[in-house]
Amino acid sequence: MFRLASQTDPDMHDRLPASSTGNAPAPASAPAQRRAAPVRRLLAVYGALLLVGGLALGAVAGVVSAATTPLGHVDGQAVTEAGRGADLFLTSCAACHGVQGAGTANGPDIRNAGAALADFMLRTGRMPLANPGAPAQRGTPYFSNADRQALVAYVASLGNGPAIPNVVTSGADVRAGWDLFTANCAACHGPAGGGGAVGGGFVAPALNKADATTVGEAVITGPAPMPRFSFSPDQLDSLAAYVAFLRDAPHPGGATSPEVGPVTEGFIAGVTLLGLLLVARWVGVRRDTAGDPLAEEAAGDPHRTGAGTASDPADDQGDPTGGRG
């Protein structure tokens, strides 16, 4: 029910060479060129802080926006919004996706992306890209809520894509969500949603910032290289509920991180071992502080009167300090 039409480019975020500009009009005022990478990074950090601080707020906002915005193929109101959306599209999106959203050499055809994918990309700050080759990663949203909704409505009006799903986690079956998650998601996003590398330079993002709507949008649209899943609305609710559960998952064993796994544990074990080495160094004697010998096993031991002493006379004289200060 949520399947996109087949001509949508699955490699929506493929890293295309920046040199091949194709036939795009490429207005100079495209936001991509206006923003320098460091500023963007700062913004991303700031946005991350904001998001962590106001997760609950964000979730509420997401649900509200999804519930109150008449997107997709509703005519009346959408036309007005799409008018504003068309303007924004021309200035911010058409450089890569083409004036009609049909795609250029720099960006894929998004005519059938639908409101779901457009909202996913814009609301999580993945679009617009800093430049055509950049990876689409979570960042600070570029557009205000009103602008985004207008843009989403415009993109939705371009073709026949899925609408923004209405994902409600309260009362959802979290156990079913666990089942779905381990079977379909953990292979890339990790058992605790910590994310991971999936090859080809792509990274499955950590899910600790993904609200219910974001999860639902990603699952039904499959932002490349993620596959699309044909889940029922109930399944989407369950899955989003489990992702929300992971965010505050109980960790009875003590401190933990979303990146659970033996690599993290190995590093912590290494630090522990360093601590133990310091303990041993404290318990034992460092040669430079050693005083007089406390005890000495006498000569004459049958195991110590072999060829060793005779054949290696230089050992003791070679370095009177013992080489240890």
User: Which residues in 291-320 contact other proteins (CB under 8 A)?
Assistant: 293-309, 311-312, 315-320
Contact of 71 with 163, CB cutoff 8 Å: yes
Site for other proteins in 271-290 (CB under 8 A): 272-273, 275-277, 279-287, 290
CB of 66 to other proteins, least distance (A): 26
Would you say 63 or 192 has its CB closer to other proteins? 192
Give the nearer residue to other proteins in terms of CB position, either 11 or 312. Answer: 312
> CA separation (Å) from 195 to 190, 258, 275?
5, 8, 30
Q: Which residue from 190, 179, 165 is spatially nearest to 238, judged by alpha carbons?
A: 179
For the four alpha carbons of 179, 247, 119 and 130, in that order, the dihedral sign comes to negative
The answer to whether 20 touches 116, Cβ cutoff 8 Å, is: no
**C-alpha dihedral (86, 74, 156, 84), degrees to nearest 10:** 20
79 counts as binding other proteins under rule CB under 8 A: no
Residue 118 structure tokens: 């457009």
The residue within the footprint of other proteins, chosen from 44, 172, 190, 220 (CB under 8 A), is 190
Instruction: Provide the greatest CA pair distance for the chain.
Output: 106
The smaller minimum CB distance to other proteins, of residues 76 and 306, is found at 306
Q: Which of residues 245-274 bind other proteins (CB under 8 A)?
A: 245-246, 249, 251-256, 259-263, 265-266, 268-270, 272-273
Within 228-247, which residues bind other proteins (CB under 8 A)?
242, 245-246
Positions 123 through 182 that interact with other proteins (CB under 8 A): 174-175, 178-179, 182
* Choice between 25 and 308, CB closer to other proteins: 308
Distance of alpha carbon 274 from alpha carbon 54, whole angstroms: 38
Q: For residue 78, what are the contacts with CB-CB under 8 A and spacing of at least 6?
A: 70, 71, 72, 153, 156, 157
Cβ proximity to other proteins: between 34 and 251 the closer is 251
Q: Which is nearer to other proteins, 75 or 297 (CB)?
A: 297
Residue 56 vs 263, nearer CB to other proteins: 263
CB of 266 to other proteins, least distance (A): 3
Residues 163 and 119: beta-carbon distance below 8 Å:
no
Q: How far apart are the first and last CA of the chain?
A: 78
Alpha-carbon distance of 41 to 294, in angstroms, equals 62
Tokens 């219910």 belong to 212
Q: Footprint of other proteins on residues 191-210 (CB under 8 A)?
A: 191-192, 195-201, 203-204
Q: How many CA atoms lie within 13 Å of 201's alpha carbon, on the beta-carbon side?
A: 10
Give the nearest distance from C-beta 143 to other proteins in angstroms.
Answer: 26
Binders of other proteins: how many residues, by CB under 8 A?
87
From the CB of 37, what's the least distance to other proteins, in Å? 13
